[in-house]
Chain A
Amino acid sequence: MRLAVREALLAFRRAPMLSALSVTTIAFSLFAFGLFGLVALNIRNALQTVEDRVEIRAFIADGTGSEATAAALGDIGAFPEAASVRLVSQTQALDRARRELGEFSDVFEEGILPASIELRLKPGFRDPETVKAVAKRIEVYDFIDDIRFGEEWVEKLHRLRNIATLAGLALGLTFAVVAIIIIGSTIRMAVMARSREIAVMRLVGATNGFVRAPFLIEGFLKGTLGGLLALVLAWIALTVINRFVVQATFFDPWMGAVGVLAGACIGLAGSALSVGRHLKRV
């Protein structure tokens, strides 16, 4: 094992340019993943806040009897998706509007705002489809004048997040494939450079695993370096965004670790895929 690590490190010195190239492509692969991942992450965070506030507000027609309203309140509260439901009377609506609008509070006359039923949904039922479905079910009461929920907003954010995820995936995978190809050719050179040694190893009875180990370790190390580099790049990108565009959050340590691990996997895959093929020719 010690020998294998030494050999792997030696390989960096034998082909520094190619090694640097493989590390950088892995880094770019993961950076692409990471950048779009960050976008997706921040959109998801934004969605969370928006979704937390998602309310269905059903406005009640003037002159609706209080029993009808109370019955509807009970029915709606019993929906499996419902977290809480409450009645906002005309007075309360007015108070709230005045509070929110401050100095313009005078413009509201008593009775101008309708009463409404406000429904908050349980987490997990806040996606656009469910919200829409629930709204439909409330609409059937004939005393409901109008129903509102943040449909466009929620849908737009969802779509944006999906696009960011897909773009990151496509770009990241492309770079990953390029990285694997470059690592493959690096391995080929390393195998050629060590062909005499490999031949002697085999002759004296070194196992196949032993012959392969340095190349696999080399790939693993390059992948890990690439992963770390990608993390640094993503962090720099985020700092720039924070400064000039919008406040955004970074990956938590777990996601960072997963990213570095993904780099290690790309490196390992690149060498594992090619080492057998090239060793056969020695």
Chain B
Amino acid sequence: MCAEKTEPTIKDTINGAIEEAHRQVQICNACRYCEGYCAVFPAINRQRSFSNSDISQLANLCHNCRGCYYACQYSEPHEFNVNLPRALAEVRAQNWQTFMRPRALATGFQQHGVLLALLFIVGLMLMLFAASYFRNIGDGSGFYAVLSHSLMVSIFAPAFILPLIVTGFGLRAYWRAVGGQRISVSHLASALKPVANLENLSGGQGQGCNFEREERYTNSRRWLHQACMYGFLLCFASTVSGTLMHYLFASPAPYPLLSVPKLLGIPGGLLLTVGCAGLAWLKTKADASLGAASLWGAEMAFVLLLGATGATGLLLYAATGTGLMPLLLAVHLGSVLTFFLTMPYTKMTHAFFRFAALIRDAQIKQENA
């Protein structure tokens, strides 16, 4: 008689990933050779035994630099089969899918790049429809001739705020699980430094990570990520400044070249586009089996979508005053809408969770000092 085959439930896969990480962390704690690479190993060495939440915290602290994989004398085909970057990536993925509600959306977007692409098309159609339907009913000129300002606000304000709220709840669940304490200014300051210079992708000594050139270190991923991240922040600042100008100074878009929104937005858009293009290219060179391989497609979709927000923003600027403008506006707004709506459920959550993990790490270090 053969045993009945049962599909593994989400719970089984989660437990499987955590179990596997437990096993590997135990080996690392007896070895400690990789202590100099990143914040994960000092965090391991502070403890003797680990709860599931400890493992989550380690997973979100890991930057997937892969230094410890190539340095490991126990990697495959050794029977210990240590592949810590993958083990922690898998726990991370499970975390992001379980802490964010509703779970179905998180699982869907984390695992299926196709869903993100479909949503993008829906967003695009919506924008095109809005643009043609409301055309000339609007109250403005420039972009707002295509899509009125009030309509934009009534679409984008909730599309931005609701996902932020969802993310906030997810983070709170994580924070509780890892025993987070009240956050002080010094915790924030210690966590901001490794965000600002991404030192956990630096290999510990500035030589970089082992993402796309196997045993050789490079800083490509680190620099491209910072281009992307700072670019994104500049674009965000540009939008905020535009909103302020609109409401406080009654000065609606489009803005001239020498204006705050443009001076922030153009370099931001360039950095974001170049950063994402570079990150996507590196991703094709790297060994997918050192990450959560099943998420590769969805991650790629996310990077491309993020890059598209930057690139279409720039194109839109270039097309000012031409007949292409309405179409480009719809494409740009469609990508931005999709990006924000799915924020809690895509790879974008990494920024929030990793930041939280870095803050928690700063707290634990202080508690132990």
- Do the two shown chains form a genuine complex with each other? no
A contact residues vs B (CB 8 Å cutoff): none
